[in-house]
Amino acid sequence: MSKQLGISIYPEHSTAERDKEYIKLAHQYGFRRIFTCLLSAEGNKDEIFHRFKEIISYANELEMQVVIDVAPPVLSKLNVSYNDLSFFQEMGAYGIRLDLGFTGLEESAMTYNPSGIKIEINMSQGTKYIDNIISYQANLDNLLGCHNFYPHRYSGLSYDHFIKCSQQFKEKGIRTAAFVNSPSATFGPWPVTEGLCTLEMHRDLPIEVQAKHLYATGLIDDVIIANAYASEEELKALSQVNRDIITLNVELVEGISDIERKIVLEEFHFYRGDVSEYLIRSTQSRVKYKAENFPPHHTEDIQQGDLLIDNELYGQYKGELQIALQPMKNSGKTNVIGRVVPEEAFLLKYLKPWSKFKLTLKK
């Protein structure tokens, strides 16, 4: 299954009409997942059922997959047993997410529910919870994983913990998801709304950079906007993120040649395998354009994130594209033709030997 994008809706804080408009717009930009939450839902069982069913039915018409966040106390409130998920089947849910779980045995049994409803496990705990569930011979085809999000500033996951937790699920072949924050969105399930994201380091980053980072780790399959409502501009930006190849936004300096511009933006790049501590080297351009002229210009000293093309003073290296990994003296043989935008420079560390990558002009 291909990597997917998702949105979140909170019917208790909005109207069915507004939610449907948002779902329709997200669908137009290729979003296929929807997260919603019963943890904060108020009302009796019938009220909750009908409120959520209307929205879920609309999403299902667009072939979008709705996962509902629950916990054992919520199930008790609704008088729903772990061994009878027909309530969620009738609601039209694709899956239920267990924000809190049981002992492992119950979750394992839930993966065999006759409705085929997916059971999504909280990925952010850092315990052996998933191993325990699997030890009860769970049906892995019906297991999903999804991180938490954190509305309180500074309470989001640390990067190291995020990696540890994500690896626990990914190494078992379980589909994974994490949340990003929409800077323009105004609400989530709870009164506190200081942004909603899984990783604390993402809270103030542009939404597409958050997604690029999650995909770059190689540990997250699906990226879901946690808060509502993201702007159309943000939905479009996320839809354009390459989910398989690291794509970096760059700025180019004025006065570079058409050939240099073409090398940066149009050529196929891969990270040469015999790596340097100083440079990411994409060397095919020096072969393809060896007959072209590359006169010296913009030969100032080099900063981390700079885009470089060796000029004709560098002999056989003429025309080679590089990205600087750290500051360097410039001998005058290298043209500094642009840079990776500062907010994306940290993504350079996710390029590995032989990684393919793309460079696109910042809009």
Res 205: pLDDT: 97
Per the CB < 8 A criterion, the answer to whether 134 and 101 are in contact is no
- pLDDT tens, residue by residue, 80-108: 999 999 999 999 999 999 999 999 999 99
Res 233: pLDDT: 98
What is the identity of the amino acid at 116?
G
Per the CB < 8 A criterion, the answer to whether 66 and 92 are in contact is yes
pLDDT at 10 over 70: yes
**Per-residue pLDDT averaged across 27-56, rounded?**
94
Q: CA–CA separation, 154 vs 146, rounded Å?
A: 20
pTM of the shown model: 0.96
The pLDDT mean for the chain works out to: 96
Is the Cα torsion angle 353, 359, 362, 363 positive or negative in sign? negative
217: which strand partners?
A: none
pLDDT at 1 over 80: no
- pLDDT tens, residue by residue, 270-292: 999 999 999 999 999 999 999 99
Radius of gyration of the chain (CA): 24
Q: CA–CA separation, 249 vs 361, rounded Å?
A: 6
SS3 content of the chain, % helix, strand, coil (to 5): 35, 20, 45
- pLDDT tens, residue by residue, 308-351: 999 999 999 999 999 999 999 999 999 999 999 999 999 999 99
Contacts of 15 (CB under 8 A, 6+ apart): none
**Residue 205 vs residues 238, 262, 344: alpha-carbon distances, Å:** 13, 29, 9
Domains of the chain, first to last: 5-244 (3.20.20.70), 248-361 (2.40.100.10)
Other residues' Cβ atoms within 10 Å of the Cβ of residue 293: 11
**Per-residue pLDDT averaged across 183-197, rounded?**
94
- pLDDT tens, residue by residue, 134-160: 999 999 999 999 999 999 999 999 999
Tokens of 251: 């700025």
Q: What angle do CA 120, 152, 246 make, to 5 degrees?
A: 60
Tokens of 221: 């399959």
Q: CA–CA separation, 56 vs 127, rounded Å?
A: 32
Res 79: pLDDT: 94
Res 93: pLDDT: 98
Q: How far is CA 122 from the centre of its chain?
A: 17
Res 193: pLDDT: 86
Conformation bin of residue 166: beta by default, left when phi > 0, alpha when psi is -120 to 50: alpha
Per the CB < 8 A criterion, the answer to whether 207 and 198 are in contact is no
**Per-residue pLDDT averaged across 9-18, rounded?**
95
pLDDT at 161 over 80: yes
pLDDT at 40 over 90: no
Spatial strand order in the sheet of 334-340? 269-270, 356-361, 246-252, 334-340, 306-310, 321-324, 279-282
Q: CA–CA separation, 13 vs 19, rounded Å?
A: 10
Contacts of 318 (CB under 8 A, 6+ apart): 286, 290, 294, 310, 311, 312
